[in-house]
Amino acid sequence: MSSLFPHRHLTGIHGLQPHEILFLLDEAEQWIALNRTTSKHDDRLSGLTLINAFFENSTRTLLSFEIAGKRLGADVVNMAVGQSSVKKGETLIDTAVTLNAMRADMIVIRHQSSGAVQLIADKVDCPVLNAGDGRHEHPTQALLDALTIRRRKGGIAGLTVAICGDILHSRVARSNILALTALGAEVRVVAPPTLMPAAIERLGALPFSNFDAGLDGADVVMMLRLQNERMDGAYLPSPREFHALYGLTPERLERAAPDALVMHPGPMNRGVEITSNVADHPTRSAITEQVEMGVAVRMACLDVLTRKRRGVEGWA
Amino acid sequence: MSGSLAILNARIVDPLAGTVTTGGVLVRDRHIAAVGSFEVPADVETIDARGMHLAPGLVDLGIFAIDMPAFAAGGITRAVLMPDQSPPLDHAALVQRAAAAGKPDVWIHPLAAATKGLAGRELAEIGLMQAGGACGVATGREWIADAGMMRRVLGYAGSLDLLVISHAEDGGLTAGAVATEGEYATRMGLAAAPAVAEAMAVARDLMLVEDTGARLHFRQLSTARAFSLVREAKRRGLPVTCGVSPAHLLLSEIAVSGFRTFARLSPPLRCEDDRRAALAALADGTIDLICSSHDPQGPEAKRLPFADAEPGMSGAETLLTLSLSLVRDGVMTLPRLIELLSTAPARLLGLPGGSLAVGAEADLLLFDPEQPWRIDSDHMASRAGNTPFDGLPVQGKVLRTIKGGVALS
């Protein structure tokens, strides 16, 4: 296995060296270019079977992985397991064993339980890619965010990135904190105390409960999606109060650096964590670009993780 | 003659005298007839201990499953069963059946459910269960959230002179949590509860003890603040005691890294400061006993994503082995350790056992405190091998477990 990326699976940003993260970002660049041509096709994964096993509902991420696999020529099979049908873990191991027996060449997994992807990775022979497990990690989201920032800002080291919203329940926040701090950014996390995880500073992030203070001078403002079920009084009094205290409006954005970039992993709750005029801002918002980078980053991950299996020189 | 035996050339660990002396034990009719040096009767089978250690059999307070092979392998001659069975032990007939389950080998001493179905809402028939053989009353795996209910449990059980055994974690804080709050739970994205949940439960229950005068035992404590509260309560003379498991003395939250479900325990593994506080509380006498909290869980309950897995560890057969490291580390003497593992729990619940006095039941344990071996979850006597100590090289092994003069292993 090449020393450029000596990992069998991609279960998280945790465990990756900064140069390995940069390697994946560099690899993604070529796919951005390809995706902008009309043919958009490469055959390097031809004959390989990619299974997208999504135990938690998802439209965008599933679609992004499907497109990424198809553009590289893989046979893509989607296994969408609704939240209600398969929930028990015994079935999870059984499913892993079943997918393995079908000789998948790569399995992409999303699951509602933290650590579930690692559990499957330990049971199968092929590379496993984490597409989000509980509130643990969502590594390709962090990679696509890093790529977006790098392309828009020319680099990541030295930038101040404010990640705002429901940090407690967010795998996007965890993966981004790990990736962006590894690449030299100063990461702030902004959340009401009820949605701030304990000891978050031990991960290298600077916690803020005041939105304005957290935004002050930030080069990148990354808003997180607030799940509807968090707004029913247990964590937050109401959507409108959250919007008043933590919603990103044009006025609020003034606190950030003059050329601050606005990001959101989607899907957005317009009018709650972010207003439409910020989300749709022609120059400040990078939200649609994030989606584009997502496909490229996932193509890079699928390519790199299957190199050993495909016998690519220097990787076998 | 059945139940007669002479064990010779042993290193006798006497927890009451606090001594380790060379000698033997003579068992006649399931009871200890002589200790030290004595004339061996001609009709008695003899065991040459060859210098191995001999101690009273262990009394394990608060096991969740009747697991005879594990108890025999762990030197446990009496096991105090939690009411968290299926169905819960909230009826005299169920208690009676459980009490008979282990005889004549390891004796099972059931605890009565404090409330019907362990739901924490209505008093169970504690008096009838006492008559059926219950040696105490327990709240089960959960804390009783309703302070009024807990007060009535304490008052009622107290009037019957029964010890109440409580699980100390404030349910409002621990709802949905699978780990202790801190860096590790945050890194892994696990739902976590603050460690103070334990101290809050202890604080409330201590006030109720003060109010009712009933005896209360916290089955397992794990945090510095809870130990401080108990230490202070004891100083004031309250009838309160607490236990700890070897896991909480030897492991911290780091053990759950990599989503190791074998390390998912209740209470959860805590931070390093709490672990050190547990050792200090053990050394200064705040902690009254060590228990295994034996809870074997098969792969169907453990080979799951961390949050979906059941808490609990299979601990009976490693109870003595792991605890022996406390002696080697100088936390306590060997007789004191045996007191914590045998004499103290027996005394607390008014059970026979925990003694090498002439006339006591011959519940004995032969062990080698030095023998090296490796804990292997795939090869355990227990019904399930869910131990967070899997793969650990350890020292000290149980060689024979003798109940009423009859060798079980």
Q: What is the DSSP string of A40-85?
A: ----TTTT-EEEEEESS--SHHHHHHHHHHHHTT-EEEEEE--TTT
Which among A119, A171, A199 has the least Cβ separation from residue B183? Answer: A199
Per-residue pLDDT tens digits for A55-69: 988 889 999 999 999
Residue B398, beta-bridge partner list: B367
pLDDT range class, residue A87, cuts 50, 70, 90: low
Instruction: Collect the ranges in chain B with pLDDT lower than 70.
Output: 1-2
Residue A85: the pLDDT is 52
End-to-end CA distance of chain A: 6
- Inter-chain CB proximity A115 and B306 less than 8 Å: yes
- Inter-chain CB proximity B186 and A119 less than 8 Å: no
What residues have CB less than 8 Å from B63, skipping those under 6 apart? B79, B80, B81, B82, B291, B292, B293, B294, B295, B316
Predicted structure pTM score: 0.94
Distance of residue A265 Cα from the nearest chain B Cα, in angstroms = 18
Residues of A in contact with B272 (CB under 8 A): none
Residue A227: the pLDDT is 81
Sheet holding A261-263, edge to edge: A205-208, A186-190, A160-164, A220-223, A261-263
**pLDDT over 60 (residue A89):** no
Task: Kindly list the residues of chain B whose beta carbon comes within 8 Å of any beta carbon in chain A.
Answer: 181-183, 185-192, 194, 258-259, 300, 303-309
- Inter-chain CB proximity B186 and A116 less than 8 Å: no
CB A114 within 8 A of CB B305: yes
Of A238, A250, A245, A307, the closest CA to residue A278 belongs to: A250
- Inter-chain CB proximity B189 and A137 less than 8 Å: yes
- Inter-chain CB proximity B305 and A203 less than 8 Å: no
Question: For testing the chain B interface, which of A97, A133, A136, A195 should be mutated: the one with the most B CBs within 10 Å?
Answer: A136
- Inter-chain CB proximity A115 and B188 less than 8 Å: yes
Per-residue pLDDT tens digits for A146-203: 999 999 999 999 999 999 999 999 999 999 999 999 999 999 999 999 999 999 999 9
Task: Determine the Cα–Cα distance for residues B55 and B356; give it in Å rounded to an integer.
Answer: 8
Count CB atoms within 10 A of the CB of residue A316.
11
Exposure string (b/e) for A45-66, b if CB count within 10 Å is 16 or more? beebbbbbbbbbebeebbebbb
Distance of residue B171 Cα from the nearest chain A Cα, in angstroms = 15
- Inter-chain CB proximity A114 and B258 less than 8 Å: no
Q: What is the DSSP string of chain A?
A: --TTS--S-B--STT--HHHHHHHHHHHHHHHHHHTSSS----TTTT-EEEEEESS--SHHHHHHHHHHHHTT-EEEEEE--TTT---HHHHHHHHHHHHHTT-SEEEEEESSTTHHHHHHTT-SS-EEEEEETTTB-HHHHHHHHHHHHHHHS--TT-EEEEES--TT-HHHHHHHHHHHHTT-EEEEE--GGG--TTGGGGTEEEES-HHHHHTT-SEEEE----GGGGTTTS-S-HHHHHHHH-B-HHHHTTS-TT-EEE--S---BTTTB-HHHHT-TTTB-HHHHHHHHHHHHHHHHHHHTHHHHT-TTT-
CB B393 within 8 A of CB B371: no
Residue A208, beta-bridge partner list: A190
- Inter-chain CB proximity B183 and A203 less than 8 Å: yes
- Inter-chain CB proximity B305 and A171 less than 8 Å: no
User: Which tops the pLDDT comparison, B170 or A3?
Assistant: B170
Give me the phi and psi of A258, to 5 degrees please: -55, -35
Q: Quick one: residue A44, left, alpha or beta (phi over 0 = left, psi -120 to 50 = alpha)?
A: alpha
Residues of B in contact with A93 (CB under 8 A): 303-304
Residues of B in contact with A197 (CB under 8 A): 185-186
Residue B31, beta-bridge partner list: B28, B361
Residue A1: the pLDDT is 58
Residue B102: the pLDDT is 83
**pLDDT over 50 (residue A84):** no
Q: In whole angstroms, what separates CA B318 from the centre of its chain?
A: 12
- Inter-chain CB proximity B305 and A90 less than 8 Å: no
Task: Determine the Cα–Cα distance for residues B29 and B32; give it in Å rounded to an integer.
Answer: 8
Helix, coil or strand: residue B373: strand
Question: For testing the chain A interface, which of B173, B178, B180, B187 should be mutated: the one with the most A CBs within 10 Å?
Answer: B187
Please give the helix or strand (H or E) that residue B151 lies within, else none: helix B147-159
Q: What is the DSSP string of A74-100?
A: -EEEEEE--TTT---HHHHHHHHHHHH
Helix, coil or strand: residue B176: coil
**pLDDT over 80 (residue A90):** no
Residues of B in contact with A90 (CB under 8 A): 300, 303-304
Residue B338's alpha-carbon distances to A106, B236, B367, in angstroms, are 54, 27, 12
Q: What is the ipTM of this complex?
A: 0.92
Residue B267: the pLDDT is 97
Task: Kindly list the residues of chain A whose beta carbon comes within 8 Å of any beta carbon in chain B.
Answer: 14, 88-90, 92-93, 111, 113-116, 118-119, 133-137, 171, 174, 197-200, 202-203
Of A161, A158, A157, A134, the closest CA to residue A12 belongs to: A134
Task: Determine the Cα–Cα distance for residues A236 and A246; give it in Å rounded to an integer.
Answer: 11
Which among A88, A92, A115 has the least Cβ separation from residue B259? Answer: A115
Per-residue pLDDT tens digits for A131-144: 999 999 999 999 99
Per-residue pLDDT tens digits for B127-142: 999 999 999 999 999 9
CB B255 within 8 A of CB B310: no
β-strand B216-218 against B164-166: which pairing, if any?
A: parallel
